[in-house]
Amino acid sequence: MNVEQAVLRRILPTEEEETRLRVAVASVMDATRKNIKRLAVKAEPILVGSVAKGTYLPHPDFDVFVQFPPETAREELERNGLQIGQFLKNKKKMYAEHPYTRGTHMGFDVEIVPCFAVASGDQKMSAVDRTPHHNKYVLSKMRPEQRNEVRLLKAFMKGIGVYGAESKVQGFSGYLVELLVLKYGTFRDALKAVTNWQPGNVIALDMLPARVFDEPLIVVDPVDGGRNVASAVSKEKMAVFIHAAAEYLEKPRVEFFFPNERSKQSRKKIIELLKMRGTTLMVTAIRAPKVTDDVLYPQVRKALRAFEELYTRHDFSFVRSGFDMVGEDILFLFEFETFELPYLKKHVGPPAWVKNAFDFQAKWEHSRDALGPPYVEDGLWVVDIKRGQVNAAQLVAVKHKEMSLGKDLDKEARRLLRALVGEKALKPSYMRSIGAFLDRRFPWET
């Protein structure tokens, strides 16, 4: 038995699991139709996504889209769309371009999403209107034996950490994986093609691009040439996928699909590691605002960039940075190469021969922030001044209220921001995140 056969044995549903899923789907469809009839609206439910296409992995959720005629008023679609989903348990009103319902039914997570029944994907009236056309396209093109090829590629991507188009991951959506198998034929052939990818490559199936895209990976949506299906894929996740594909083809191992869990490093080992490297760990913790992941993670990435720019601008250099969520805290992790700086900062002014040179001299000659009088060095006016903050923790404590971290994160940071340095950062609940941050091995190497 080769690696792929062994993986399929673990990810293919049993007959009992398939039966349970089919019963749940039929029940949801029936309840949806009953609510449509009760509300006396013109609409048609359709099962979409991996469950509809037979490409799902273990423990799937599933989506039912409710298609309303294009002439339906947006307000009517939203109001009736939410009413139709009220039969779900643990229901929540979720928001994308318009609201939809998320809940549970017979042990499965389910979403009931209203959309417009447009004639083609490029005639969309809202962002979700293409999805039924994606469904139809894949079902019309995919051969039965390719469903398991898709499952293998999804499991591979999940194992290496690049599966999921949501903002938290910035990876590959299920629909994108299906298109890659349709393009290249099999799991193995897809990996072989991936090893030749470069940023900016355009991959097309039945439709050429209708515009120029600037993302690292471009896969033209075969139902809408103006859309890049791979727009969510970051350059980092693309690079990891290319490297993993090459490694797997050279030496296939089940660990690519099911990586070993990283061992939790002890406090003593992390302290020894940082001492050996001569670096300083700082963890900045902010309470996570109560918003959806799609709202939260773009702000988290924005905040990380803001912290990076702050430290760089003030001469604190770092080896690496990252973020994680632990419990109710968002952690911003930095390993500093230069964490502390001298009290003195050399401030360089204009050349001595320019007209405003005297202004520079006059400004600093009697300044309380100057550590001595201005002087000329290599033709430039220079003054030694007091540095405002001599370490990165002081800097972020003073400056974070002036920074733009994101609407919701700003509020939480102003309420409470904790900058924990060295051993103080090694809280028991943070240890796994810190260990993973410092351990740069790929998932399949652990």
CATH T-level topology, domain 146-256 = Poly(a)-polymerase, middle domain (1.10.1410)
CATH H-level, domain 267-340+390-445: superfamily: Poly(A) polymerase predicted RNA binding domain (3.30.70.590)
The pLDDT value recorded for residue 75 is: 93
**How confident is the model at residue 393, as a pLDDT?**
97
The pLDDT, as a whole number, for residue 95 is 81
Exposure of 333 in the CB half-sphere (CA atoms within 13 A): 21
Per-residue confidence (pLDDT) for residue 315, from 0 to 100: 94
> Can you give the pLDDT at residue 124?
76
Nearest to 55 by CA among 131, 136, 165, 147: 147
C-beta separation of 195 from 246 below 8 A: yes
Structure tokens at 241: 């996928």
- pLDDT by 10s per residue, the chain, length 446: 699 999 999 999 999 999 999 999 999 999 999 999 999 999 999 999 999 999 999 999 999 999 999 999 999 999 999 999 999 999 999 887 789 999 999 999 999 999 999 988 777 778 889 999 999 999 999 999 999 999 999 999 999 999 999 999 999 999 999 999 999 999 999 999 999 999 999 999 988 999 999 999 999 999 999 999 999 999 999 999 999 999 999 999 999 999 998 888 899 999 999 999 999 999 999 999 998 888 899 999 999 999 999 999 999 999 999 999 999 999 999 999 999 999 999 999 999 999 888 899 999 998 999 999 999 999 999 999 999 899 999 999 999 999 999 999 999 999 999 999 999 999 999 999 999 999 999 999 98
Superfamily grouping for domain 3-141: Beta Polymerase, domain 2 (3.30.460.10)
Take residue 120 and report the two structure tokens written for it.
Answer: 């083609």
In the chain, count H helices and then E strands: 15, 15
pTM listed for this prediction: 0.90
Distance from CA of residue 394 to its chain's centroid?
Answer: 30
Using alpha carbons only, how large is the chain's radius of gyration in Å?
27
Instruction: Report long-range pairs for 411-415 (Cβ below 8 Å, ≥24 apart).
Output: 411/289, 412/286, 412/287, 412/288, 412/289, 413/286, 413/303, 415/287
How much is the pLDDT for 265?
86
Domain boundaries, the chain: 3-141, 146-256, 267-340+390-445, 344-386
d(CA 57, CA 157): 12
